[in-house]
Amino acid sequence: MAPRPRGKSRPAARRPTGAAASPDAWLAALPPAAAAELSRVRDVIRAHLPAGYREAVRGSVIAYEVPLERYPDTYNGQPLWYAALGAPKSYLTLHLMGAYGSPELRWRLADGFSAAGKKLDMGKACVRFRKADDLALGVIGEIVAALPLEKWVAIAKASRRT
């Protein structure tokens, strides 16, 4: 296979946008391999997501968010995200805002990856991966389950006061 010329981006079908009517439609717009990997992670999130959060397509991600009816006073007028799944050009992403907002959860995530023999490739709240098997799915489920909606809203409110 010849190398791709520099400066050329991948086809737009790799990154679905908010035009997808549902998370299922968003996943269907991805290449099959990426959709399969993200579906595995989505299943873990949905199995552990505390009550009250809503799954929605927001821009180029599937977001797990606090509905505006529950917390309307966000800094940007948009629903407060708790977690998200994305498919940038060359990798997949899992955004765990709770692990960014709570040092305890961040350490729990890092320790869980280490115990599972997995490498944690994480920015602020973004865990980058290529396959679901790269993730410590058990600890991700624990992290997702760790913050009930009201506690996450309290953390968000407290962070705005500083």
What are 37-86's pLDDT values in tens digits? 999 999 999 999 999 999 999 989 999 999 999 999 898 999 999 999 99
Task: For residues 128 and 145, give the distance between their C-alpha atoms in angstroms, rounded to a whole number.
Answer: 20
The pLDDT score that the predictor gives to residue 89 is 82
pTM: 0.85
- 90 within a domain of the structure (yes/no): yes
The pLDDT score that the predictor gives to residue 121 is 96
What is the extent of the structural domain holding 153?
17-161
- 92 within a domain of the structure (yes/no): yes
- 120 within a domain of the structure (yes/no): yes
Q: What is the CATH number of the domain that holds 132?
A: 3.90.1150.200
Question: By the 8 A CB rule, do 59 and 79 touch?
Answer: no
The pLDDT score that the predictor gives to residue 19 is 61
How many domains is the chain built from? Answer: 1
- 4 within a domain of the structure (yes/no): no
- 12 within a domain of the structure (yes/no): no
- 1 within a domain of the structure (yes/no): no
pLDDT tens digit sequence for 109-123:
999 999 999 999 999
- 42 within a domain of the structure (yes/no): yes
pLDDT tens digit sequence for 129-159:
999 999 999 999 999 999 999 999 998 888 8
The pLDDT score that the predictor gives to residue 102 is 85
